Amino acid sequence: MAAQKKDDGLVPLQVEVTVAGTDADATVRAYLFDSAGRVVDSALVGNDLSFRVDPKRRYRVTVGPDLSVDEHVPADAAALLRAAGAISRDVAPAYAPGTVSLRIEESLRLLWIFRCITIHGTVRKHLNPGGTPPAYAPICAGTVQVFTIDLAASLDNLSDAQVLNIGQTVLARMLGVEISDLLSFDWSDFARLSALSAGLYPLTGNALRAYLVAHRAELATFMCEVIPEWAISYQQLPDATIQPDGSFSLTYCFFVWQTPIDVYFEVVQTIDGQTREVADPDILCTTIWNYDGSQSAVITVEDPSAIACNPTQTGPGYLYVWPTAIGNVDLRQIDGLETPSGTGLLPGDTPFGGTLSLQTQFDPNLQSNGISYYRWSYRFDGDPTFTEISTPVTHRWMQETLSGGVITIHLNSVALGPNLVGSESNLYAIPDPNLPWVNINDPADRPFAYFDSTTGAPGRAGMVTLRMEMFDAAGTHVAAGNAGHGGPFSYLLPDLSATAADYTDAPGNNIDTNGDLVFRIQVDNRRCTAALGDVQASGNTADDCGMLHYTNANDTVSVAYAATQPGNFIDWSLSISRGSHGVVATAGGATSAPVGSHLDRTAAQLAGSCIQAAFATNLSALARATDGYARQSQYDAGATGAFALLHP
C-alpha cells in the first residue's frame, strides 16, 4: 500500500513477530485492520515491521498466512485468516506509539501454508434402476478418479450469450419446481427458490457469472447438462483405490486460502486388460460443492456391467442361514410370512409370477462347522409332495492383480449346483466365504436358487410353500436349532415388529418337523384378457366400418368392454380419443371388469364442438404379478378399436 505521510497525525506501531523455524518469515504476513474489519495495511513479517496508525482509533493486528496476490489482499481476508487460525492483538486508543509482540510456533505456521483434508466416501452399484425400493451393492474393486472443479474459470470459457442462456435455462427449471411447490403447499422451498430466481433474473455478463458461482451449491441441480464438458476447468488429483467394502479415501493438501474446494468423481475398472469408465456422470449434477472433508461422498454407478460385490448385512454372531429376498423384494413384505395364515401377497395385492430368484445370506463359518450344502423345494397347495428346484446356479468371483499401478480384474466362474451328494439330489454348495464374489448381472450373479413358478403349467397359480434344507459334506441332512430342534445353526427371518434392518430367529410357524425352513407365497401366472365390444347410441350399433349414427347431443354413447384376470390381480384403463384433440373420456380399475361392462358418455361429451367426429378406443389390462425385479408384463393384454359419430 502507499506510504503514509509523516505529518498527518499518524504515529508508528511497531510489530515484533518471532517465527519459529528456518526462513519462516517468507510465508507469514502481518495485517492491520480498522475497527470495521477492513484492511488498512499489510506487510510480510521482517526485522523492522511497523504500521502507522491514528492514536485515536482502534485497530487489530493479525499475523497469519500470506494471502496477498501482487501485494493486494482479498476483501474477505478477515474470514480467511479466522479459518486458518491466525493470531491477533487489539490496539486500543492512546496505545501508540507502542509495540505489539507475537510469537508464532512452527506447527502453527505450517498450518497456515497448507490445509489437508481427507476426501472419502463409498462407491455402490444401483441394482434395480427404477425399482422400489432401490437396491444397491458395493463396488469393491477399481479406482476413483478425483477432480477439483473451478466453476468461475469454466464460465469464463463461455461467451456472455452462452452464460445468459445458462441463466435462462436455470430460471425455467426453477419455475417448474416453484409451481410444484405451490401445488404441494411447500411454502419454505417456494420462498427459497423465489429469492434465488429474483437475484438471478436481472443479471447478465460477469455479474451473472459471479452469481452462479456464489450460489453454485443451490443452483447446481438446475444447471445439469447445460455447461458443455469441454468448457469445464478442473484439476485431477491422485487416484483413490476402492477397498473391498466399497470405500475410498485420499488425503489432499492445498494452500489455506484456496478453501473451500468443489470435488467431482469418476469410477474406472479394468477387466482383463480393458479399462472402462463405469461412472462418468454429468459434472454439475454430481459435484460436491464446498467440500471440507466432513462429508462422505456416495458415488452411485448405473452401468449394468460394472463389477460389484454382493450386499451383506451383519449377522447375529452365531451360525445362521438367512433367506433375505425374492429378487429385490425383501421377504418382510410378504403378507403372513411368519404366521400360519396370510395371503402370501406383496403390498398392493401383488402376487409372484415367472421365475423367482431366491436370495440368501450364509454365515461365513458354516463350512468350517460341517455344513456344506443347501436345497430349495416348492409345493403348490394340492401337490402330493415337494418338488426339488434343480435349475443350475453359477456365481463368479474376481481375481485382482496389480501391475504398473493398474488394478486388473479377472472373473472366475464356479458352479454351485445342482449336485448329487451321497443319496441326496439337487444339492448346492455354500460359496467359499474367502473368495470375493461379484454382483454384475443380477439375477445371474446373486441368487442361490431359481424357482420357475410356471413349471408344469404355463398359467399355474395358487399358494406355494417354499422349503429350505441344509446338509453336511457327505449329504447328510442337518436340522436347524430353531423351535427346539437342537441343530448347530439357526434360520433367520425379518423381525416384523422392528425396523427393516432387524432380524430374528425364524419362529416355530416357519420350521417343519424335520427342522427345515418353510414359508408361503401366492403365485399367479394367469394372463389378463382385454376385449372391446359394440359401440351403441340412439338405438344404433356401429357397423363394421365403425360408423355410428346418433340423433341428439344428449344421447348416450355406450362402449362395451371387458378387462379380466382370474385372480383379480389386474390394473386396467380405457381411454377414448377424438381426432387430434386427444383423450375425451377414461375409465379404469384395480379389479376385473367383467363382460358386460361399458363406458357411457353423451354424444356432446365425446364430440365437443364437432357435429361428426372420429374416435379411437384403447383398452389396457396390466398383470400385477412380479418376479421380485419387475412386473410380469408377458401376462398383459390390450385391445384397440375405432368408431365415428355421425349426425343424420
Examine the pLDDT at 4 and tell me if it is beyond 50.
Answer: no
Percent of the chain residues topping a pLDDT of 70? 94
Q: Indicate whether 198 and 283 sit together in one domain.
A: yes
Q: Indicate whether 619 and 635 sit together in one domain.
A: yes
CATH number at residue 23: 2.60.40.10
Q: Indicate whether 178 and 34 sit together in one domain.
A: no
Within 10 angstroms of residue 257's Cβ, the number of other Cβ atoms is 20
Residue 112 domain-assigned (yes or no): no
- 586 vs 73 pLDDT, higher one: 586
Give kind and range of the element (H or E) at residue 286. helix 283-286
pLDDT at 635: 97
Query: What is the DSSP secondary-structure string of 364-397?
Result: TTTGGGT--EEEEEEEETT-SS-EE----EEEEE
Q: Indicate whether 413 and 331 sit together in one domain.
A: yes
| Torsion angle defined by CA atoms of residues 580, 582, 585 and 590, in that order, rounded to the nearest 10 degrees | 130
Q: Indicate whether 612 and 542 sit together in one domain.
A: yes
Residue 4 domain-assigned (yes or no): no
- Per the structure, the complete domain to which residue 72 belongs is given by 11-104
Residue 68 domain-assigned (yes or no): yes
pLDDT at 3: 44
Q: Where among 509, 524, 539 does a domain terminate?
A: 524
pLDDT at 1: 39
Within 10 angstroms of residue 34's Cβ, the number of other Cβ atoms is 15
Contact between residue 58 and residue 89 where contact means Cβ atoms under 8 Å apart: no
Q: Where among 301, 331, 366 does a domain terminate?
A: 301
CA-wise closest residue to 512 among 462, 470, 473: 470
**How confident is residue 17, by pLDDT bands cut at 50, 70 and 90?**
confident
CATH number at residue 612: 2.60.40.3930
Q: Max CA-CA distance within the chain? A: 113
**pTM score:** 0.72
- pLDDT digits over 198-217, tens only? 888 888 999 998 999 889 88
Give kind and range of the element (H or E) at residue 206. helix 205-214
Bridge partners of 399, per DSSP, are 410
Q: Which grid coordinates belong to 149?
A: 472443479
Examine the pLDDT at 618 and tell me if it is beyond 80.
Answer: yes
Edge-to-edge order in the sheet of strand 98-104: 50-53, 11-19, 98-104
CA distances in angstroms from 220 to 121, 229, 274, 365, listed in the order given: 20, 15, 33, 48
Examine the pLDDT at 7 and tell me if it is beyond 80.
Answer: no
Contact between residue 501 and residue 512 where contact means Cβ atoms under 8 Å apart: no
Q: Where among 262, 283, 301 does a domain terminate?
A: 301
Distance (Å, whole) CA 516 – CA 378:
13
- pLDDT digits over 353-384, tens only? 999 999 999 999 999 999 999 999 999 999 99
**How confident is residue 70, by pLDDT bands cut at 50, 70 and 90?**
low
Q: Indicate whether 135 and 237 sit together in one domain.
A: yes
Residue 5 domain-assigned (yes or no): no
Distance (Å, whole) CA 112 – CA 556:
84
Q: 545: burial class by Cβ within 10 Å (0-12, 13-18, 19+)?
A: exposed
| Torsion angle defined by CA atoms of residues 131, 134, 138 and 141, in that order, rounded to the nearest 10 degrees | 40
Residue 36 domain-assigned (yes or no): yes
Residue 403 domain-assigned (yes or no): yes
- pLDDT digits over 434-489, tens only? 888 888 887 888 899 999 999 877 789 999 999 999 999 999 999 999 999 999 99
Q: Indicate whether 322 and 179 sit together in one domain.
A: no
- 106 vs 463 pLDDT, higher one: 463
- pLDDT digits over 622-648, tens only? 999 999 988 999 999 999 999 999 987
Q: Indicate whether 519 and 444 sit together in one domain.
A: yes
pLDDT at 114: 65
CA-wise closest residue to 39 among 57, 61, 17, 66: 61
Spatial neighbors of 609 by CB under 8 A, at least 6 apart, are none
- pLDDT digits over 522-581, tens only? 999 999 999 999 999 999 999 999 999 999 999 999 999 999 999 999 999 999 999 989
Contact between residue 346 and residue 333 where contact means Cβ atoms under 8 Å apart: yes
Examine the pLDDT at 146 and tell me if it is beyond 60.
Answer: yes
pLDDT at 519: 96
CA-wise closest residue to 624 among 634, 614, 616: 634
9: left (phi over 0), alpha (psi -120 to 50) or beta: left
Q: Tell me whether strands 582-589 and 570-578 are parallel, antiparallel or unpaired.
A: antiparallel
- 254 vs 584 pLDDT, higher one: 584
Distance (Å, whole) CA 155 – CA 165:
12
Residue 563 domain-assigned (yes or no): yes
Give kind and range of the element (H or E) at residue 176. helix 160-183
Q: Indicate whether 165 and 281 sit together in one domain.
A: yes
Q: Indicate whether 592 and 606 sit together in one domain.
A: yes
Contact between residue 246 and residue 123 where contact means Cβ atoms under 8 Å apart: yes
H, E, C per residue of 586-643 = EEEECCCEEEEEEEEEEHHHHHCCCCCEEEEEEEEEEECCECCCCECHHHCEEEEEEE
Q: Indicate whether 170 and 270 sit together in one domain.
A: yes
Q: Indicate whether 250 and 293 sit together in one domain.
A: yes
Cis ω before 133 (30° cut-off from 0): yes
For the chain, first and last CA: distance in Å?
Answer: 95
Residue 292 domain-assigned (yes or no): yes
State the total domains in the chain.
4
